[in-house]
């Protein structure tokens, strides 16, 4: 197995430098593989106070309007490398992919422009089964919003995680899939908790069971329609007592083809949706001292793509998250101890193909964050990208 990976990687690198085109099939005695990916320069300028995540929008934590305005940022960390192919049996495929979005200390590495290598995908597929780290079964790629920003919509977290998934065809145009996925609950006392939050610094959050995700999809000439349902187990332990609750997310998403244009959409209802949606990442569940409660939320997104010609296309995107009225303490993971009530975001972008390999993109984004305490924060930023695919 090690020889296969080494041979595939070395052969891909050699072809890249000798031929000038990086996407090549690499034949080996153990199967075949294709190297792929892209190099990307991404630039951001914040007109309003700078997003705490800098290189991508993070409306759920957008600073107050009174904070210092403006901020420019350039990065190549979106660049990506991948290897995909099949094993000798011809029926088992694999995909290995990484980028440079690792969680290193940006303040330390910025002087030398270094970013950490991060695993995106590492899985095998055989027949109806998938094993490894891949997009969550909850993610509908065909209904997602296209944007220059790497976090393109409030309603989807684009989660990639370890899982076991089974997929079966219900008809020539319909399929059903069931997956058991890594629950990924981190210590809830940490300010960067991405799954659950508590009000006491001594308590931690965990999950005793894998996330269960179900999806059914119908595909037709006009587009597709997909439905999801998932459950997530929240367990809080402060060393004295343990309390738990089950959260989840349900939704419908899909697409419509309109001549050369395309409309995508999604509508969701969550109770502790957590990291499965960007907008609910920091408000999933909390321990009120008597029981574990989940944050209730409703959300939607839609996007329209107009193709001007073979080289130019424009997208208009809209996404929205509304939290129910709940009496909750201020949570440590939110800036200024403010719980979000409403998140609203718009994006307008245009992509231009400069040649067969290189594409440029430019985007204007506007967002509004309303807190449960009636506070308001605004986001306004300009993004651009230059991407060379191989």
83 falls within a domain:
no
Q: Which residues does residue 369 pair with via DSSP β-bridges, in sequence order?
A: 343, 377
How many Cβ atoms from other residues are within 10 Å of residue 268's Cβ? Answer: 24
CA atoms of 19 and 25, how far apart (whole Å): 13
pLDDT at 15: 32
Specify whether the CB–CB gap between 44 and 383 falls below 8 A: yes
Question: pLDDT 10s per residue in the chain (390 long)?
Answer: 343 333 333 333 333 333 333 444 555 545 688 999 999 999 999 999 877 777 788 888 888 887 878 788 899 999 999 999 999 888 899 999 999 987 655 444 444 556 788 999 999 999 999 999 999 999 999 999 999 988 768 998 778 999 999 999 999 999 999 999 998 754 333 333 333 444 333 345 678 899 999 999 999 999 999 999 999 998 887 778 888 889 999 999 999 999 999 999 999 999 998 889 989 888 888 877 788 888 999 999 999 999 999 999 999 999 999 999 876 665 544 444 568 899 999 999 999 999 999 999 999 999 999 988 888 999 999 999 999 999
pLDDT at 293: 86
368 falls within a domain:
yes
Q: Which residues does residue 266 pair with via DSSP β-bridges, in sequence order?
A: 253, 301
Write out the residue range of the structural domain in which residue 161 sits: 30-75+137-389
pLDDT at 11: 36
Segment holding 8, helix H or strand E: helix 2-19
99 falls within a domain:
no
The dihedrals phi and psi of 97, each to the nearest 5 degrees, come to -145, 145
Specify whether the CB–CB gap between 154 and 365 falls below 8 A: no
Instruction: State the pTM of this model.
Output: 0.84
CA atoms of 48 and 71, how far apart (whole Å): 8
Residue 385 Cα to chain centre, angstroms: 18
CA atoms of 85 and 92, how far apart (whole Å): 9
116 falls within a domain:
no
CA atoms of 305 and 372, how far apart (whole Å): 34
The domain that contains 341 carries what CATH number? Answer: 2.40.160
Q: Tokens at residue 279, please?
A: 């907008």
101 falls within a domain:
no
Number of domains composing the chain: 1
Specify whether the CB–CB gap between 369 and 345 falls below 8 A: no
161 falls within a domain:
yes
Side-chain half-sphere exposure of 234, counting CA atoms within 13 A: 26
Which is it for strands 340-353 and 129-135: parallel, antiparallel or unpaired? unpaired
CA atoms of 318 and 365, how far apart (whole Å): 10
DSSP type of residue 12: H
Q: Tokens at residue 378, please?
A: 């605004």
pLDDT at 25: 54
364 falls within a domain:
yes
217 falls within a domain:
yes
């Amino acid at each position: 197995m090690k020889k296969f990976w080494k041979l595939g990687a070395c052969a891909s690198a050699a072809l890249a430098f000798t031929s000038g085109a990086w996407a090549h099939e690499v034949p080996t005695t153990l199967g075949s593989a294709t190297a792929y990916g892209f190099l990307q320069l991404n630039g951001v300028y914040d007109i309003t106070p700078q997003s705490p995540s800098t290189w991508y929008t993070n409306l759920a934590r957008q600073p107050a309007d009174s904070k210092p305005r403006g901020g420019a940022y350039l990065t190549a960390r979106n660049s990506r490398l991948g290897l995909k192919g099949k094993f000798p049996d011809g029926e088992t495929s694999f995909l290995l992919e990484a980028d440079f979005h690792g969680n290193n200390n940006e303040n330390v590495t910025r002087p030398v422009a270094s970013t950490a290598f991060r695993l995106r995908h590492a899985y095998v597929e055989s027949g109806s089964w998938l094993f490894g780290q891949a997009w969550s079964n909850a993610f509908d790629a065909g209904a997602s919003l296209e944007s220059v920003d790497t976090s393109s919509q409030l309603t989807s977290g684009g989660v990639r995680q370890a899982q076991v998934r089974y997929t079966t065809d219900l008809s020539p145009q319909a399929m059903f899939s069931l997956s058991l996925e890594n629950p990924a609950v981190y210590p809830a006392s940490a300010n960067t908790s991405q799954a659950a939050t508590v009000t006491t610094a001594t308590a931690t959050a965990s999950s005793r069971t894998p996330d269960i995700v179900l999806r059914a999809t119908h595909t037709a000439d006009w587009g597709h329609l997909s439905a999801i349902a998932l459950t997530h187990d929240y367990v809080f332990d402060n060393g004295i007592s343990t309390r738990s609750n089950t959260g989840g997310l349900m939704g419908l998403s899909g697409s419509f083809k309109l001549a050369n244009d395309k409309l995508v959409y999604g509508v969701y209802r969550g109770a502790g949706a957590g990291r499965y949606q960007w907008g609910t990442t920091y408000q999933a569940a909390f321990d009120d001292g008597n029981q574990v409660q989940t944050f209730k939320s409703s959300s939607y997104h839609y996007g329209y793509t107009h193709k001007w010609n073979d080289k130019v296309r424009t997208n208009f995107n809209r996404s929205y998250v509304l939290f129910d009225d709940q009496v909750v303490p201020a949570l440590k993971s939110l800036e200024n101890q403010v719980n979000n009530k409403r998140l609203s975001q718009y994006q307008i972008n245009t992509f231009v193909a400069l040649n067969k390999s290189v594409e440029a993109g430019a985007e204007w984004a506007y967002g509004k964050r309303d807190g449960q305490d009636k506070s308001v924060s605004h986001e306004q930023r300009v993004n651009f990208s230059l991407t060379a695919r191989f």
